[in-house]
């Protein structure tokens, strides 16, 4: 520090010159934020007994604009290399939020305004800001930007090595979970839901992750599976276990049917056609009312039985129920736990199947096709068959999941199979990292499980969804776990024969 | 000599634009034939036409006495023809070993180890890089991988599209040496498309010069190398 007065113009001028563009920039951003929020946030129409009236919420507008203004300053400082200054702004904000949240009172410091009405949202924002400050702090202490990157690489590498163990631990946990105390009915219901999406994600991963065919209409196969079971049980009185393979075959057939016309398409064009296919199925289900029940759906779909025994309090005439056969007390959770194990097994089968396929020539051809179709043809791979198997198999697993869904709900209608479902499943695959099996699990928990836990925040779900997507695109543009494990063991004995001498060269 | 490949009066179009104006040429069993010519002469088009992508609009392509005009690419490639495409087109996110495994897709696993050993013997660097991703290899290594991948299907006719493209001269030498060895040791017929006329003609038993979609000159490699027209156009002049 030089020995100058704080208000000496010679000392102030460079600071002002430095701050001027940043402040102007921030003011512009705040102006845009004002324009955007003043009508959408600031004015709200309320349906009063006196008629429609406007309610003004300009304090919310003010907080939003203030956040944008200071956030913009922090961002400019950070990106301008002024980490310390940015840190002061973000840190100050998080400190303010933290104090405002921790002190509740009528006087003094407790009156600090909180920008959001919901305490939980305040906490999330605060934690994010604290995270930012910590990151800035580390950047500062480490000196250069290179250090964290190396750290990240190492971390990713060790994480990669641990992946099989993490997977095994997760599976083990999944198997024993119902026996824990915390696994009440709500948790189990949620687990079943998450696992359904895990299975759908794994199924779609075959098509999108491995074969690289962007499918926006995957829900169509889910619907076909569900309706196949519902209709076969309704018209032919088939049970869940008999209908399951029927559903798989039916959806695989539908997958191939869709595959044929779209074989020549790639990328966005393929996405649009598959999107259309998803809608076609839904519209048919709605309009073919005398066969599918139309918008009313189908009810009374039989539940899965345990070797012919039902899960109900009172057995039917001449039949035994699960709890009476095993001499247990009746508990409604039993049925959920049973469903949980069914979907867990189905999902694991999907996973095993996919992992196995990747090591076979067909799976290899899928991946090669994703990378370079021309080269594939030049190597004698038939792209038609390869794509069709990917479509068919991917669809088949969607069909199994659909069959399970119908059996679990007992009632299905076309409403369950809208485009948003396809989008969510695709988001799970993309977020998890294309082709990554464990990534799908993590993404399903994040996208399905977490929103179920925070029911309170339902209004903010889409906001969080979008924000999360943006963050993933910024930090991990290829998905949470984008690593692709080489499948070294295509041919038997390969590893044992030649792996050892060449180890260590990579 | 037995003709492996006969091309008769082939015309190929891209939409309305004619790329090949009635090309005819032969490749004999066990020889290295090369096709040289300037950029845009239609060399790669001819090679791709042999593979059926794009397909010839008229004319005949006969491989070992069987007409292959109009067959889909993957069927042609299953008849004992293999190709190292222009720009190499290896699978960048897959390892070297996986790339080679895909090359062996149509043969199946039975003789994989044996063929793999052969490729590694030909290009020892690939063995060192076995577990590396294709995309992380240097241009020369990628070209070796592309050739090795083509060899994995045990072809009788190997089509090479500009193996010297964008590769350091020293590595080009090594690659051409490997091509010569494949030809001599495996008795494999090779059809080589090149812009690098000097190297190609020295290696080839027979050469064709293509200009604007037509075959302009034919002769043994050595004759063409000595031909003043060829020398002026492809050896001393522009390049």
Over residues A384-393, mean pLDDT: 93
Note the pLDDT tens digit of each residue in A231-257.
999 999 899 999 999 999 999 999 999
pLDDT, residue A183, reads 78
Banded pLDDT at A107 (limits 50, 70, 90): very low
Chain position carrying tokens 């964008």? B166
**pLDDT value of residue A162:** 74
Number of domains chain B is built from = 1
Query: What does the pLDDT read at residue A147?
Result: 43
Closest CA to A503 of B175, B130, B149: B130
Q: So what's the ipTM on this one?
A: 0.87
pLDDT at position A387: 92
| Gap between the Cα atoms of A316 and A93, Å rounded | 64
pLDDT of residue A136: 67
Spatial CA neighbour of A307 closest among A395, A370, A235, A240: A240
Mean pLDDT of A389-417: 94
- What is the distance between the alpha carbons of residues A202 and A402, in angstroms, rounded to a whole number? 14
The pair of structure tokens assigned to A143 is: 């000196």
Cα of B238 to nearest chain A Cα, Å: 31
In Å, what is the CA distance from A72 to each residue of A59, A65, A131, A357, B167? 20, 10, 17, 49, 48
CB within 8 Å: B89 and A368? no
Residue spans per domain, chain A:
9-146, 203-308+343-455
What is the pLDDT of chain B when averaged over all its residues? Answer: 91
Task: Select the residue of B90, B91, B98 nearest A487 (Cβ to Cβ).
Answer: B98
Q: Which residue has the higher pLDDT, A150 or A369?
A: A369
Whether B237 has a pLDDT exceeding 80, the answer reads no
Q: CB distance A375–B89 less than 8 Å?
A: yes
User: What count of residues does chain A have?
Assistant: 506
pLDDT tens for residues A135-158?
Answer: 766 666 655 444 444 445 555 566
User: Which of chain B's residues have a Cβ under 8 Å away from the Cβ of A379?
Assistant: 77, 82, 102-103, 105-106, 149-150, 153
Q: What is the CATH number for B138?
A: 3.40.50.300
φ, ψ (nearest 5 deg) of residue A238 = -85, 145
Q: Where are the beta strands (DSSP E) in B72-231?
A: 81-84, 157-161, 189-194, 206-211, 214-220
More confident call, A150 vs B6: B6
pLDDT interval class at B121 (50, 70, 90): very high
Decide if B153 and A374 are in contact by the 8 Å CB cutoff.
no
Cα→Cα distances A396→A115, A304, B86, Å: 48, 19, 38
> pLDDT tens digits, residue range A175-197?
988 888 777 888 899 999 999 99
Whole-Å CA distances, A477 to A74, A433, A434: 24, 9, 11
Mutate to test the interface with B, among A360, A379, A381, A434 (most CBs of B within 10 A): A379
Give the whole-angstrom CA distance, residue A449 versus residue A190. 7
- Asked whether B67 and B60 are in contact (CB, 8 A), the reply is yes
CB-based contact, B131 to chain A, within 8 Å: yes
Q: Is B153 on the interface with A (CB under 8 A)?
A: yes
Which carries the bigger pLDDT value, residue A51 or residue B140?
B140
Nearest CA-CA partner of B91 in A367, A400, A49, A115: A367
Residue A372 predicted with pLDDT over 80 = yes
User: Which of B82, B89, B103 lies closest to A374 in CB terms?
Assistant: B89
Is there a contact between A377 and B92 if contact means CB atoms under 8 Å apart? no
> Would the CB atoms of B98 and A372 count as touching at under 8 Å?
no
Q: Which residues of A touch B82 (CB under 8 A)?
A: 379
Higher local confidence (pLDDT), A474 or B4 = B4
Which pLDDT value is given to residue A146? 45
pTM check: above 0.90: no
User: pLDDT of A328-349, one tens digit each?
Assistant: 778 878 889 999 999 999 999 9
Q: What is the DSSP letter of A177?
A: G
Residue of A nearest to B73 (CA): A377
Three-state DSSP class for residue B170:
helix
Distance, in Å, from the CA atom of A13 to the CA atom of A5, rounded to the nearest integer, reads 13
Tell me how far apart the alpha carbons of residues B104 and B114 are, in angstroms, rounded to a whole number: 11
Q: Cα B104 from chain centroid? A: 18
Query: Which of A368, A379, A506 lies at the smallest CB-CB distance from B153?
Result: A379
Q: What is the pLDDT of residue A81?
A: 65
Residues of B in contact with A364 (CB under 8 A): 98, 101-102, 105
CB atoms within 10 A of CB A245: 13
Instruction: Identify which of A95-99, A138-142, B226-230 has the greatest average pLDDT.
Output: B226-230
Q: What is the pLDDT of residues B61-99, one digit of tens each?
A: 999 999 999 899 999 999 999 999 988 999 998 999 999
Note the pLDDT of residue A505.
Answer: 34
Q: Is the pLDDT of residue B35 over 90?
A: yes
Q: Is the peptide bond before B54 cis (omega within 30 degrees of 0)?
A: yes
Residue B206 lies in domain: 3-235
| Residue of chain B nearest A358, judged by CA positions | B98
């Amino acid at each position: 520090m030089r020995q100058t007065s704080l208000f000496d113009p010679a000392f102030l001028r460079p600071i002002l010159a430095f701050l001027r563009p940043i402040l102007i920039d921030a003011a512009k951003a705040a102006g845009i934020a004002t324009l955007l929020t003043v009508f959408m946030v600031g004015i709200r129409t309320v349906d009063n007994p006196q008629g429609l009236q406007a309610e003004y919420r300009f304090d919310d507008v003010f907080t939003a604009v203030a956040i944008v203004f200071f956030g913009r300053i922090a961002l400019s400082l950070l990106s301008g290399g002024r980490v310390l200054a940015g840190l002061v702004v973000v840190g100050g904000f998080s400190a303010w939020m933290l104090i405002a949240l921790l002190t509740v009172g009528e006087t003094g410091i407790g009156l600090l305004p909180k920008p959001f009405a919901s305490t939980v949202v305040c906490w999330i924002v605060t934690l994010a800001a604290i995270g930012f400050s910590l990151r800035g702090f580390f950047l500062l202490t480490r000196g250069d930007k290179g250090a964290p990157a190396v750290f990240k690489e190492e971390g990713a590498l060790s994480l990669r090595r641990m992946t099989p163990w993490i997977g095994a631990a997760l599976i083990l946990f999944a198997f024993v979970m119902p026996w824990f105390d915390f696994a009440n009915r709500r948790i189990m219901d949620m687990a079943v839901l998450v696992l359904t999406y895990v299975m759908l994600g794994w199924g779609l991963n075959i098509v999108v992750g491995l074969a690289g065919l962007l499918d926006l209409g995957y829900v169509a196969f889910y619907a076909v599976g569900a309706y196949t079971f519902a209709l076969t049980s309704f018209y032919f009185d088939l049970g869940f276990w008999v209908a399951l393979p029927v559903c798989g075959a039916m959806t695989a057939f539908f997958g191939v049917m869709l595959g044929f016309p779209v074989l020549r398409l790639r990328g966005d064009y393929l996405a649009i056609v598959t999107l259309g296919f998803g809608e076609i199925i839904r519209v048919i289900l709605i309009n073919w009312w005398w066969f599918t029940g139309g918008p009313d759906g189908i009810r009374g779909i039989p539940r899965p039985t345990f070797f012919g025994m039902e899960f109900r309090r009172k057995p039917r005439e001449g039949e035994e129920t699960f709890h009476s056969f095993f001499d247990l007390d009746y508990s409604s959770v039993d049925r959920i736990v049973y469903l949980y194990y069914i979907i867990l097994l189905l999902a694991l089968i999907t996973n095993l199947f996919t992992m196995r396929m990747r090591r076979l020539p067909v799976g290899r051809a899928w991946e090669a096709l994703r990378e370079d179709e021309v080269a594939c043809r030049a190597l004698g791979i038939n792209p038609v068959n390869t794509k069709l198997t990917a479509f068919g198999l991917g669809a088949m697993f969607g069909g199994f999941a659909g069959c399970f869904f119908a059996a679990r709900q007992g009632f299905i209608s076309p409403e369950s199979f809208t485009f948003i479902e396809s989008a969510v499943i695709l988001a799970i695959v993309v977020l998890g990292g294309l082709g990554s099996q464990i990534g799908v699990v993590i993404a399903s928990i994040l996208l399905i499980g977490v929103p179920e836990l925070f029911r309170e925040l339902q209004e903010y779900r889409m906001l969080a969804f979008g924000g999360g997507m943006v963050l993933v695109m910024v930090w991990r543009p290829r998905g949470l776990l984008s690593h692709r494990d080489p499948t070294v063991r295509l041919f038997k004995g390969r590893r044992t024969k030649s792996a050892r001498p060449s180890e260590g060269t990579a | 000599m037995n003709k492996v490949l006969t091309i008769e009066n082939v015309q190929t179009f891209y939409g309305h634009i004619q790329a090949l104006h009635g090309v005819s040429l032969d490749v004999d069993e066990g020889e290295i034939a090369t096709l040289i010519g300037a950029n845009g002469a239609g060399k790669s088009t001819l090679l791709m036409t042999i593979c059926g992508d794009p397909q010839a609009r008229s004319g005949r392509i006969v491989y070992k006495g069987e007409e292959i005009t109009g067959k889909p690419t993957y069927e042609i490639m299953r008849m004992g023809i293999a190709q190292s495409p222009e720009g190499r087109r290896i699978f960048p996110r897959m390892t070297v070993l996986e790339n080679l495994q895909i090359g062996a897709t149509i043969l199946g696993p039975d003789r994989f180890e044996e063929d793999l050993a052969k490729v590694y013997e030909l290009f020892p660097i690939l063995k060192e890089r076995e577990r590396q991703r294709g995309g992380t290899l240097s241009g020369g290594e990628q070209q070796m991988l592309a050739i090795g991948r083509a060899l994995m299907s045990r072809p009788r006719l190997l089509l090479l599209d500009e193996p010297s493209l964008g590769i350091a001269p020293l590595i080009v030498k090594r690659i051409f040496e490997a091509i010569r060895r494949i030809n001599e040791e495996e008795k494999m017929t090779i059809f080589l498309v090149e812009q690098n006329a000097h190297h190609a003609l020295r290696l080839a038993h027979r050469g064709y010069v293509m200009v604007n979609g037509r075959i302009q000159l034919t002769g043994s490699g050595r004759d063409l190398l000595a031909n003043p027209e060829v020398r002026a156009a492809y050896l001393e002049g522009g390049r």
